[in-house]
Each structure stands twice: as structure tokens, then as C-alpha cells.
Amino acid sequence: MCGIVGFVNKDKNKLETIKKMGDRIKHRGPDDEDYYVDESVALAHRRLSIIDLASGRQPMENENGSLVIVFNGEVYNYKELQKELKSCGHKFKTNCDTEVILHGYEEWGKEMPTHLRGMFAFAIWDKTKKSLFCARDYFGIKPFYYYQNKGTFLFSSEIKSFLEHKDFNKVLNKELLEPYLTFSFNPCSETFFKGVYKLNLDITCT
């Protein structure tokens, strides 16, 4: 498994915060860590290396640097998609499924997740549009949580990352106790932290 985390806001000095958030999930990716930060977004990736060990480092940018992705999971049909995207004129620098998702987003936009077979959770930052597109596999195998407050949008593979951000309010979601005690599991998109949700399919933040 790997771990992804990030946030969107206008704060300065994002790097210190995103490093602390990434450290909260370092158990998910012991092999590598890296960050992307600009005036609008901060992204972190903790990597467990499986595919393309030498050149699959994240956050990964596309060829012109307009898109950057953090990705957790595995795309089983990435070789078939890579072949299809090459036939459309896309040039690849690596042989990893992460880059396939990037080029797939260039080609298909928000419909790209429908082309993927596998287990995945990812976030793509579009520097030109200043928008963040996040998606999760249809069966929800890979975790993805998000939270929004005070002009800040947070996401992560694990809620504990949010504890390092100043705009996260640690409030118990008491309304979830009844369905949890009824079913002995959480059947909702809400979580036990008020305002934190599990992503079902996809979301765009601008």
C-alpha cells in the first residue's frame, strides 16, 4: 500500500504542514516520500514501491508540467491503456500505472476513472485551471477521506493526517453512533469526525 495526502488553500509555508501530515501515514509507504507545493496546493506521497521501482516516484507531473498527481493503488489494465494512449499520440517517460492515469486524464478528462480496472485513489492538481480532481475505485478498496473548512480542502488516505492541519476541527460526529450501533459497522459516507467524509466516486475542488 501507499499513502497520499494534500490540501488546497492560500496559506503560505505549506511545506512544513504537508511534511507533518505525510509523516502521520509513513507506515503506508516506507520506501520513499516526496512533496509538491505551490501557492494553492500541497501534495505528499508515501511510497511502497511495486511497479517501475526506478522511475515511478510521486508526486508525478505530466510532460508539460500542467498536471501533478498523487496516487495510491494498482491499475490492472494499465499496459492496455498505455498502448491505447500511445496510439493517440501520448509520450511516456515511465512504465508505471501512475503516468497512465495522468495521460488518461489528459485524453478523457473526468471520464478517465471509467477506463480503469483496479483499486485506486488519487488526486490530480490542474495548475492551469487551479482545480483538484479526486477519484476512488467503485468498490472503495483504497481509502480516501476529505474535509473542508475555512477555505481549506483536505484529503488523505487516513484521517489522522488531518490532525496536523490548523484548520481541522476535532469534533465527534455523535449522529453516527446510532447507525454504527445498529449495523455494527459504519454504513455512511460520514465518519466519526464531524465534517470528514469518505469519497464514494469522485469530486472536484476549485
Name the active-site residue from 2, 88, 188, 205.
Answer: 2
Q: Is 96 one of the annotated active-site residues of the chain?
A: no
Give the 3-state secondary structure of the chain.
Answer: CCEEEEEECCCCCHHHHHHHHHHCCHHHCECEEEEEECCCEEEEEEECCCCCCCCCCCCEECCCCCEEEEEEEEECCHHHHHHHHHHCCCCCCCCCHHHHHHHHHHHHHHHHHHHCCEEEEEEEEECCCCEEEEEECCCCCCCCEEEEECCEEEEECCHHHHHHCCCCCCCECHHHHHHHHHHCCCCCCECCECCCEECCCEEEEC
Q: Which sequence positions are flagged as catalytic?
A: 2
